[in-house]
Amino acid sequence: MGEAKVLVPSAISACERIFEYFPNCLEFLVGDPNYVRPSRRCCQHVVKLNILARHRTGPRTICWCIQVMVKGMTPALVPSKIQDLPLMCHTTLSFPISDSIDCSK
């Protein structure tokens, strides 16, 4: 069994919206063959996450919350799908998506 992450209430609170928005993109990001494009809802939520990254939560917190969510997940995130996401949603990413990036930088 993997190591358990202990989340203090403020960390859970900080991740609440990310935990609500980001899962809508997971089927696309893990390369599910039924999702060759991100869903409309995924793209809408990427826009919401961008707003949070720029004006409220910040990109580091969003990065950390995504890592907590996807670390050790099977199937893993597909790097090419992460690169495709902003292009297919006609936006940019104001936060990194990865299971291993150093979110403090």
Amino acid at the residue 16:
E
Q: What is the pLDDT of residue 103?
A: 87
pTM over 0.85: no
Q: What is the pLDDT of residue 8?
A: 47
Q: State the Cα–Cα distance between residues 86 and 39, nearest whole angstrom.
A: 12
Q: State the Cα–Cα distance between residues 26 and 80, nearest whole angstrom.
A: 13
10-residue mean pLDDT series, the chain (105 residues): 47 82 96 95 96 90 91 91 96 90 83
Q: State the Cα–Cα distance between residues 52 and 88, nearest whole angstrom.
A: 20
The helix or strand, by DSSP H or E, that contains position 29, with its residue range, turns out to be helix 26-29
24: its two tokens? 């809508």
70: its two tokens? 């996807």
